[in-house]
Chains A and B, each alone.
Chain A
Amino acid sequence: GQNIDQPTEMTATEGAIVQINCTYQTSGFNGLFWYQQHAGEAPTFLSYNVLDGLEEKGRFSSFLSRSKGYSYLLLKELQMKDSASYLCAVSENFNKFYFGSGTKLNVKP
C-alpha cells in the first residue's frame, strides 16, 4: 500500500514563495510526480523526480529525498492563476500512480 500525505490547504500572497510538502511510504518506488488541478479540470503534469535533489522548471521547483520519503513543490513569484489543487503522486513498479489527497492553494492579492 501507499501512505501519501500532504497538507489539506494553504494560503499565500501574490508574489510570494510557497512550499508544499509531501511525505510517502511505498514499495517499488520509481518516481514522484507533482500535478496541478484547477477546479473542474483534469490534472496537468508539473514535475517529476526520481533521483534525490532539486529539479527546477521556471517558477516551479520540486525536491526529492528518497531516504526520507519526502518531497516538496516550491512555487515562486506566486500569481493568482496558481490558485489550484496540487497533487503529489508516487509511481510504483513502473505500472501505477498513487495520488495524495491534494493541497488546495489559495493565492490572495
Chain B
Amino acid sequence: SAVISQKPSRDICQRGTSLTIQCQVDSQVTMMFWYRQQPGQSLTLIATANQGSEATYESGFVIDKFPISRPNLTFSTLTVSNMSPEDSSIYLCSTRTSSYNEQFFGPGTRLTVL
C-alpha cells in the first residue's frame, strides 16, 4: 500500500491568486495523478504526472492553469493559477500500486476561492 499526505489540507484564497498543493508519498511510485472533486460531484482526472517528463493533461485542463511538477518519485505539486470561485473544489493526489489493481488517494486539499 501507499500512504499519501497533502499540504495544505484546506485554504481560502482570493480571486486572481495562485495556490500550490504538495503531495508526498511514503514510497517511490511511477505515476501520480491529480483529481478534482467539485461539491457534490465525483472525481475528475486533471492530469497524470510521471517523473522526468511533462504531465499529461485531460481534456478541459491546461498546463497554464494547472502547472504540475514531479521532481522525484515520491513528490509532486499542483498549482491552481489565477484562481476564480469556479476553482473552489477538493483537489486529490493519487497513485497506484505496482500491480495496478489499487489506487490510493491522499486526504485532499479543500480550496475555497472568494
Contact = CB atoms under 8 A, between A and B. Distances in A.
Please classify the interface of chain B as helix (H, G, I), strand (E, B), loop, or mixed, using the class held by over half of its residues: strand
Contact of B100 (A31, A41, A44, A45): A31
Contacts of B113: none
Contact of A94 (B33, B44, B100, B106): B100
Interface centre among B31, B48, B103, B107 (most CB of A within 10 A): B103
Interface centre among A43, A89, A99 (most CB of B within 10 A): A43
Please classify the interface of chain A as helix (H, G, I), strand (E, B), loop, or mixed, using the class held by over half of its residues: strand
B8 to A, nearest CB: 15
Interface residues of B, number: 19
Nearest to A85: B42
Contacts, number: 47
Interface centre among B31, B41, B42 (most CB of A within 10 A): B42
B92 A42 contact: yes
A2 to B, nearest CB: 10
B37 to A, nearest CB: 9
Q: How large is the interface on A (under 10, 10 to 19, 20 to 34, 35 or more residues)?
A: 20 to 34
Contacts of A85: 42
Contacts of B43: 43, 87, 89, 99
A91 interface: yes
A83 to B, nearest CB: 16
Interface of A: 30-31, 33, 41-45, 48, 50, 85, 87, 89, 91, 94-102
